[in-house]
Amino acid sequence: MTAKIKPSQGSPYARILGVGGYRPTRVVGNDEILKHIDSSDEWIRSRSGIATRHWAGPEETVAMMSVEASGKAIAAAGIDPAQIDAVIVSTVSHFKQTPAIATEIADRVGAGKPAAFDISAGCAGFGYGLTLAKGLIVEGSAEYALVIGVERLSDLTDLEDRATAFLFGDGAGAVVVGPAQEPAIGPTVWGSEGDKAEAIKQTESWEIYRGRTDVSDVRYPAITQEGQAVFRWAVFEMAKVAQEALDRAGVRADDLDVFIPHQANMRIIDSMVKTLGLPEHVTVARDVATTGNTSAASIPLAMERLLATGQAKSGDTALVIGFGAGLAYAATVVTLP
């Protein structure tokens, strides 16, 4: 006889309860980037919108930045860290395959014995993590989940590559997701286009180190990209994904308060705002100017800054969309914590 399995009991809905961020103390201006590439401050600002970014020092590890951001998110959520049942860390710049850095972070934030794992979804990583967290809470495997996007992309930057040297930054953003009595995280529109995966990639795999004792002639694997192809894809395809997320959430552009797109390039952000026809009253995150592209950390960092500076407020309706390596993407509409 087949035994009857009880269904799991989750919360009807989930919401973001608190957000926190950590930016490394060292601010790197375009002047420092220009020591290595033939370019100009004017070119970098006009083509990317980036004026400064933060680069981590030796002490500002992936774990340290995550713990700092998480502590603030947990405090903002007003929960005891021991209530966290799941820790999801999205990163491409933690260099150990195992154990998951999520386990160390979970321990250091005082989360007890939660499920803890890392995901790799590049710049879509925050949206992927948020979607997983919502699923766990609604399905009943977690009551509270900590979602962290964290990167030390300076470790993966080729300072001599004109196409990328100025783009990347480091930092961590974290949110606590918990139960809700009404919808506060909309349906996620997500996916990947593996046929274009080569458009953003590491120059080498870690395989280059296999069996070698002297690696002095080996170039450290860096992130490289086909800038124009990625730009076109982001501008044309991601606006459609963002619109679909609005449609599926039943939210019109007019009803939106805030737009938090992945912070990759100011021109991509401007183009999406135009294509989506966002009205003037919508606050647009433009954190890329002083944070650069921090991949999985970019959306929670931008969210935290908008709330901290009063440009957005708790309860606002925000469209978030991340996109990048893979080429993976994820968009959803959320109520801000």
Ligand X SMILES: CC(C)(COP(=O)(O)OP(=O)(O)OC[C@H]1O[C@@H](n2cnc3c(N)ncnc32)[C@H](O)[C@@H]1OP(=O)(O)O)[C@@H](O)C(=O)NCCC(=O)NCCS
- By the rule CB under 6 A, 285 interacts with ligand X: no
- By the rule CB under 6 A, 265 interacts with ligand X: yes
Apex 100 CA angle, 97 and 102, nearest 5: 145
Contact criterion met (CB below 8 Å) for 323 and 234: yes
Q: What is the rounded CA–CA span in Å between residue 201 and residue 223? A: 6
- By the rule CB under 6 A, 43 interacts with ligand X: yes
Q: What is the rounded CA–CA span in Å between residue 141 and residue 136? A: 5
Of 22-30, 36-44, 79-87, 140-148, the window that binds ligand X (rule: CB under 6 A) is 36-44
Is 265 a catalytic site residue? no
Minimum CB separation from ligand X for residue 128, in Å? 14
The H-assigned helical ranges of 114-265 are 125-139, 227-249
Rank residues 90 and 225 by Cβ distance to ligand X and give the closer one.
225
- By the rule CB under 6 A, 225 interacts with ligand X: yes
- By the rule CB under 6 A, 227 interacts with ligand X: yes
Apex 223 CA angle, 218 and 224, nearest 5: 100
Minimum CB separation from ligand X for residue 168, in Å? 9
Minimum CB separation from ligand X for residue 74, in Å? 28
Rank residues 103 and 265 by Cβ distance to ligand X and give the closer one.
265
- By the rule CB under 6 A, 47 interacts with ligand X: yes
Measured on CA atoms in the order 157, 159, 160, 164, is the torsion positive or negative? Answer: positive
Q: What is the rounded CA–CA span in Å between residue 66 and residue 51? A: 24
**Active-site residue, from 30, 54, 94, 123:** 123
Q: What is the rounded CA–CA span in Å between residue 186 and residue 189? A: 9
| β-bridge partners, 19 | 175
Antiparallel, parallel or unpaired: β 317-324 and 283-284: unpaired
- By the rule CB under 6 A, 37 interacts with ligand X: yes
CB-based contacts of 174: which residues, under 8 Å, 6+ apart?
19, 20, 21, 66, 69, 70, 72, 73, 146, 147, 148, 149, 300
Q: What is the rounded CA–CA span in Å between residue 113 and residue 111? A: 6
Is 293 a catalytic site residue? yes
- By the rule CB under 6 A, 324 interacts with ligand X: yes
Rank residues 37 and 137 by Cβ distance to ligand X and give the closer one.
37
Rank residues 123 and 303 by Cβ distance to ligand X and give the closer one.
123
Rank residues 125 and 337 by Cβ distance to ligand X and give the closer one.
125
Minimum CB separation from ligand X for residue 44, in Å? 6
Minimum CB separation from ligand X for residue 109, in Å? 28
Contact criterion met (CB below 8 Å) for 293 and 149: no
* 264, 269, 321, 334: which one binds ligand X (CB under 6 A): 264
* 30, 48, 93, 243: which one binds ligand X (CB under 6 A): 48
- Total residues found in the chain within this entry: 337
Rank residues 177 and 234 by Cβ distance to ligand X and give the closer one.
234
| Residues 141 to 170 in contact with ligand X, rule: CB under 6 A | 162-163
Where do contacts with ligand X occur on this chain (CB under 6 A)?
A: 37, 39, 43, 47-48, 123, 162-163, 225, 227-228, 230-231, 234, 264-265, 268, 293, 324
* Residue positions annotated with a catalytic role: 123, 262, 293
